[in-house]
A and B are shown apart, each in its own frame.
Chain A
Amino acid sequence: MALVVVQENSSLAAEYTVQSKVGHGYFYKTESSEDSVLNSQTFADLKLKNLYSFKKSGELLLLLQPEVQWNWQSSYLTENKKKIAIWNLYEGYAKYTNEDFKLIAGKSIISWGSSDIINPVDFFGARDLTLLSAQTEKNRKGIIALRYFLNHNLDVNLDFQTEIIVALSKVQNTQLTPEKQYWGAGVTELDNVDQLPPVGFGLKTGLTTDQWDTSVFIYYGQYKRSEMQIINIFPASIQIGTVHQNSKGLGIDGSFVYNKWIFRTEASYQQFALASGQENLKSPDLAEFVIGAERPLGEHAQIQGQYYQRKQLNYPSNNFDPSNPVDTLTANLQIYNDLANGFIYDMEYGFTLRLNALFFDDRLELQNAVMTFQESKGYFYRSSLKWSGVRNLDLTVGTIQYYAAESTPFTTLKKMNHVFTEVSYIF
């Protein structure tokens, strides 16, 4: 189809966001240090958009969203203070939309699945876990890809959607630059990243039907994912590093409505291979499943519960023996594999509960979420209160708390417990 380059109208728009967060008790500096850190992160976003409309042929949107992150770190026990600034392109793409399809080329956020908290099919996107106290979605990282969306109304009651992704693996980056070591994280750049395929693929396809308001989607992804993850836990501190994973995943999700309840379920199966070339270290396959239910409580509140289960397949877990001499990298990778899957047991399972409520004409929002880990005998809890009383200004206070049994290495995660405040102004 020829693109008729008759520009009907175009508009350039700019939006600016300034967001500042202060959190205490973030990452600890060294393996044995008890010195906690007061950490302040300030983000400034600039979103530039230019929208071109073409008569009968669709719309072309150009979007550029760079952001700069200022970090200020101060420790209680020493005089150490650091200030750094990091530039990042949050999203930057060209999007063409017409009646039949949509095409996105560039760096964009990919978010799959409809569940909250536990999201097994959301395996194509990447995250930066150094932004732990941020609004959950702020720690997503864009993927450089070509994305093609097809939408068909098969009939009045059936809506069919397909998304095809071609991602450029080699240029994805969530590098731990020297500047980002300010929180004492170690650099773990693994070798042989060239062993990974240069191009990744993703497919999402499914349909929504009016019958019981049901949706079913299937997902497939094969690509290299680069993320900032927890790669090691010491008795006194936590190490963050960049991990490149060659990943294949297959997932399914569905939802339906019954009376006042919305039921959502997701399941996925993923295979991982690290880019290290460590062929003698087998990476586990991971099977994950979640089922949840959500319903309103009156007009201003909502409750949601989930049951989840995660299982490592084809991998003998908990096989790290400190007395057995292996090289440090292999030892770290074994621990990493356990941590990347969130547990050191063959299977982890638990529950999540989320309660949201609105007060004062929807200007004050309370969000509470708790997630339990039954095998690790631990939990994760997040609570926040957001005030939106002034136009374009949001004020948030909150806390993140971890707990795990003393007998597991995850008990160190409680050192990341902290309170945070956020001020966000968009203009």
Chain B
Amino acid sequence: MTKLFIKIFLLLSVFQFAFAEVDKTNADQILDQSQAVRRIPNTVAEAVLKTKSDRFNDEKEFTFLRKIAEDGERFKTLTRFKKPLTIKNQAILFLEKENYENSIFMYLPAYKKVRRVESHSQSSSFMGSAFSYSDIATPLSKDFTNTLVKTQECPSDKSKKCFVINSKPKSKQIKERTNYSLQTSWINIENYLVDQTLLFVEDTDKYVKKISFSDYKKVRTNLWFCQNMIIADIKSKKTTTLLFSNLKTDQELSNSLFSQQSLSDEK
């Protein structure tokens, strides 16, 4: 009975945000709405991480499971790698928490051990790609000081209009964990989906990373999933494409799936 109440509560929370009246001059509300339309309770998908640089091309395939946490805002994510075979069954459990103090556990099949990844390492590369662990986490508007800068054409489609919002980490902790001093996001005015994000570090007015979002799939009324993300890391000259396929959002995912014991469950 308790589980049923929790499910109903989460569903109502999602739909409350999805259908809320948004003040289009309020950056916090715009970002809340943007997060709400992408806050799918349960997600299972196949994913491919393609990384290119001047020196090499790399491709990794993994299974992606994501479940909304008990707070109704943050996520628990489990990724289990399938290819290349040298990393098969390596798995990462990502438990999002307040102030980006996320818990990250990694399973290494060669050692048959689950190891905790230190939280400050979240700014380091995710599996050799241009994404960092913090890039994969879901940013919440309340972790940042947000300012609506202007409205302009969306970078991916000039016929559409986007809000341009600057977000600065509210605390030193968040800044240290993400390694960014500023994020600038373009958010579609009509459907509140993120079109592009630029990431900046201290003491420079040039962005260090650019993330482009496309190929959104509508899973329910006012709920969308981004199936294509491209991140360009200016410093390392690496570009990574994260492609999702075989998306399923109607699967029930138990909490025991997002545990250390499940992490070491090789397939």
Contacts and interface: CB of A to CB of B under 8 A. Distances in A.
Contacts of B84: 391-392
Interface stretch (A30-38, A293-301, A305-313): A293-301
A60 to B, nearest CB: 12
- Give the size category of B's interface with A: 35 or more
Contacts of B110: 135, 137
A296 B97 contact: no
Nearest to B98: A210
A6 B85 CA distance: 30
Nearest to B119: A257
A327 interface: no
Contact of B86 (A151, A153, A388): A388
A164 to B, nearest CB: 13
A114 B115 contact: yes
Given A15-B85, A137-B110, A299-B123, A257 B256 contact: no
B112 interface: yes
Contacts of B56: 361, 363, 389
Interface string A237-253: 00000000000000000
Given A111-B111, A296-B124, A299-B124, A360 B119 contact: no
Contacts of A299: 121, 123-125
B114 interface: yes
Interface string B81-111: 0001110100000010100000100000011
A161 B260 contact: yes
Interface string A10-35: 00000100000000000000000000
Interface in B192-247: 236, 238
Contact of A15 (B88, B123, B259): B88
Interface string A386-422: 0011011010000000000000000000000000000
Nearest to B127: A362
A161 B259 contact: yes
A260 B176 CA distance: 11
B174 to A, nearest CB: 15
Most A Cβ at <10 Å: residue of B53, B103, B114, B118: B118
Interface of A: 15, 49, 51, 61, 97, 99-100, 102, 109, 111, 113-114, 135, 137, 140, 149, 151-153, 156, 159, 161, 208, 210, 213, 215, 255, 257, 259-262, 294-296, 299-300, 360-363, 388-389, 391-392, 394, 426-427
Interface of B: 53, 55-56, 58, 69-71, 84-86, 88, 95, 97, 103, 110-116, 118-121, 123-125, 128, 236, 238, 254-256, 259-262, 265, 267
